[in-house]
């Protein structure tokens, strides 16, 4: 069985802790690899390598950094098929979805290639006699990222390319369930000419996470994952003096007004609820149907859902793959049966789904629940699976009150032909990312990604301008050069003349 190791100081490093975790193929249910779990000492070795590399990388020219990043972008593009296959093998998502993930990660690499523009400072001349003031941004030092299983390549690429472009060095702790993509990203970075120690990868569990959060030489931590863990990361990291951005979970709503194009809304609900098997924080998990919209909309969603093809991610005919583990599959299934017991109508029950020839895989079909109410567990919890709930309301005001009462505020969408209603919605809804007739409003690379309320802990969203600000700190320099006419003694308070 293949054992996956760490990447420290520019090369593979075998794990020595003696602790390993299983890596499954979700389509077959078979363990195909194991991954070494880092000890505290191994995390310290990665941080030490990053700290040593920062001595030169932190003072390197923007030209040198961007030359590496441009080459890195070329290599990622050339290897996108290979990276996608690694994602499919360990996560289970279909190949086209994995390719899309790599493409969205590449957007941030491209943003990082333009870092000279993002790091331009400001200058005010002659603020006082022969006095100039400039504002600049400088790197932090060693920074770290802790990333989730659902986007093994994209989320790491949301972090480290921008961090190293800003002059930092990086320690990445990917999900132990899907470690291969991150290792490949590090290999390609070295091939692109990234100096040893600038990017390090340590695999592991909570031992590695806590070692990162408590390490005195790590200045900042980025995290994407569930809300309880995001809260823990933020609390623990900030208690140890670190800058932290911790993106948590979600319960994203899609509001459908009576004037909406229901075919477009049904297509969008299918794509947003069941794409990537619902294992994404931007998935639409609740459709809020206003007035008489619900019945025809549910009919259209059901018609489309019945036609979905579920199967192994490496089968070109598959539109949705398995879930990440058996335990998670069973948990998702429990919400469907639980909703029925709590009074919801189960329009589609996908809990008994299997794929012929892959019976041991982590399979579940799509489920559609109607007459869901806010008291039900299927509404209150982040399910993180292919389960779509429909909540019926009578008015827009009732809908916006329902949505804003949610503890999460990650993404949301409205479907309507009314520009006034859409504008009112985008101003009134309490969420960090809003789509108007767009079900998954993930921003492009030069805008920032992040939610409100329990979907984000910390002051900075990820990538875009917020990402640059998170990975740098400001400095203001006031300068006066002596003039031959200067001189004399004046003990009075300095004045700006």
Average pLDDT value over all residues in the chain? 96
Active site amino acids: 281
- Contact, 366 vs 386, CB < 8 A? yes
Report the share of the chain in percent with pLDDT over 90. 96
Token representation of residue 266: 């049904």
Confidence category of residue 47, pLDDT binned at 50, 70, 90:
very high
198 Cβ contact partners less than 8 Å away, ≥ 6 residues apart: 50, 53, 57, 164, 169, 170, 189
Can you give the pLDDT at residue 341?
A: 97
> CA-CA-CA-CA torsion for 345, 348, 351, 356, nearest 10 degrees?
160
- Contact, 363 vs 277, CB < 8 A? no
Q: What angle do CA 107, 309, 333 make, to 5 degrees?
A: 90
Q: Is the pLDDT of residue 349 over 60?
A: yes
What are the start-end ranges of the E strands in 400-471?
Answer: 408-409, 411-415, 433-436, 452-453, 456-457
Q: Is the pLDDT of residue 487 over 70?
A: no
Residues 91-117 as b/e (b if ≥16 CB within 10 A, e otherwise) read bbbbbebbbbbbebbbbbbbbbbebee
- Contact, 159 vs 144, CB < 8 A? no
Confidence category of residue 486, pLDDT binned at 50, 70, 90:
low
177 Cβ contact partners less than 8 Å away, ≥ 6 residues apart: 21, 23, 24, 90, 91, 149, 324, 325
> What is the tens place of the pLDDT at every residue in 185-244?
999 999 999 999 999 999 999 999 999 999 999 999 999 999 999 999 999 999 999 999
Measured distance CA(72)–CA(426) in Å, rounded: 37
- Contact, 101 vs 147, CB < 8 A? no
User: Exposure of 375 by Cβ count < 10 A (0-12 exposed, 13-18 middle, 19+ buried)?
Assistant: exposed
Q: Per-residue DSSP letters for 292-347?
A: GGHHHHHHHHHHHHTT--B--TTSTT-SB---S-HHHHHHHHHHHHHHHHTT-EEE
Q: Is the pLDDT of residue 490 over 90?
A: no
* Nearest C-alpha neighbor of 318 from the set 361, 265, 287: 361
In this prediction, residues 393-415 reach a mean pLDDT of 98
Can you give the pLDDT at residue 495?
A: 65
In this prediction, residues 115-129 reach a mean pLDDT of 95
Can you give the pLDDT at residue 65?
A: 98
Any bridge partners for residue 457, and if so which?
Answer: 246
Measured distance CA(92)–CA(282) in Å, rounded: 18
Token representation of residue 193: 């000419």
Q: Is the pLDDT of residue 84 over 70?
A: yes
Torsion region of 464: left, alpha or beta (phi above 0 gives left; psi -120 to 50 gives alpha): left
Token representation of residue 36: 């070494």
Q: Is the pLDDT of residue 375 over 70?
A: yes
**Alpha carbon distances (Å) from 128 to 124, 135, 469, 474, 482:** 10, 16, 29, 22, 13
Q: Is the pLDDT of residue 496 over 60?
A: no
81 Cβ contact partners less than 8 Å away, ≥ 6 residues apart: 99
Token representation of residue 362: 């982590």
Measured distance CA(279)–CA(276) in Å, rounded: 6
Query: Would you call 218 helix, strand, or coil by DSSP?
Result: strand
> What is the helix, strand, coil percentage profile of the chain, to 5?
40, 25, 35
Q: What angle do CA 277, 279, 285 make, to 5 degrees?
A: 85
Measured distance CA(236)–CA(238) in Å, rounded: 6
Q: What is the pTM of this model?
A: 0.94
Any bridge partners for residue 8, and if so which?
Answer: 11
């Amino acid at each position: 069985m293949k054992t996956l190791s760490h990447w420290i100081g520019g090369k593979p490093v075998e794990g020595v802790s003696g602790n390993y975790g299983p890596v499954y193929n979700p389509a077959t249910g078979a363990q195909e690899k194991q991954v070494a779990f880092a000890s505290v000492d191994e995390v310290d070795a990665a941080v030490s390598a990053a700290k040593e590399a920062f001595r030169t990388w932190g003072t390197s020219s923007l030209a040198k950094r961007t030359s590496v990043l441009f080459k890195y972008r070329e290599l990622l593009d050339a290897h996108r098929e290979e990276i996608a296959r690694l994602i499919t093998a360990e996560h289970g998502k279909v190949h086209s979805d994995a390719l899309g993930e790599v493409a969205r990660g590449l957007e941030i690499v491209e943003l990082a290639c333009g870092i000279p523009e993002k790091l331009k400072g400001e200058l005010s001349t002659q603020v006082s006699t022969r006095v100039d003031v400039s504002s600049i941004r400088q790197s932090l030092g060693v920074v770290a990222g802790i990333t989730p299983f659902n986007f093994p390549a994209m989320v790491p690429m949301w972090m480290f390319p921008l961090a190293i472009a800003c002059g930092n060095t990086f320690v990445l702790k990917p999900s132990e369930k899907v470690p291969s993509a991150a290792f490949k990203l590090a290999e390609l970075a070295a091939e692109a000419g990234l100096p040893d120690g600038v990017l390090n990868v340590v695999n592991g569990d909570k031992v590695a996470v806590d070692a990162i959060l408590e390490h005195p030489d790590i200045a900042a931590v980025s995290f994407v994952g569930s809300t309880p863990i995001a809260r823990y990361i933020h609390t623990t990291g900030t208690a140890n003096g670190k800058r932290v951005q911790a993106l948590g979970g979600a319960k994203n709503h899609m509001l459908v007004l009576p004037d909406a194009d229901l075919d477009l809304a049904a297509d969008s609900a299918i794509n947003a609820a069941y794409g990537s098997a619902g294992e994404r924080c931007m998935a639409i998990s609740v459709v809020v149907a206003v007035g008489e919209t619900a019945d025809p909309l549910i009919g259209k969603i059901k018609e489309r859902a019945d036609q979905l093809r579920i199967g192994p991610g490496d089968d070109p005919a598959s539109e949705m793959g398995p879930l990440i583990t058996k335990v998670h599959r069973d948990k998702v299934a429990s919400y469907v049966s639980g909703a029925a017991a709590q009074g919801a109508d189960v329009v589609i029950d996908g809990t008994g789904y299997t794929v012929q020839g892959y019976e041991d895989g982590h399979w579940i079909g799509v489920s559609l629940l109607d007459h869901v109410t806010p008291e039900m567990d299927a509404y209150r919890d982040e399910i993180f699976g292919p389960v779509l709930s429909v909540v019926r309301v009578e008015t827009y005001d009732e809908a916006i009150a329902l949505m804003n009462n949610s503890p999460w505020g990650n993404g949301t969408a409205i479907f309507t032909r009314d520009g006034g209603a859409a504008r009112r919605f985008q101003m009134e809804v309490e969420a960090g990312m809003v789509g108007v007739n767009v079900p998954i409003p993930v921003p492009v690379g030069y805008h920032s990604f992040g939610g409100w309320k329990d979907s984000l802990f910390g002051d900075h969203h990820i990538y875009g301008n917020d990402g640059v600000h998170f990975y740098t700190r400001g400095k203001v320099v006031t300068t006066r050069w002596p003039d031959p006419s200067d001189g004399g003694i004046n003990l009075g308070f300095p004045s700006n003349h």
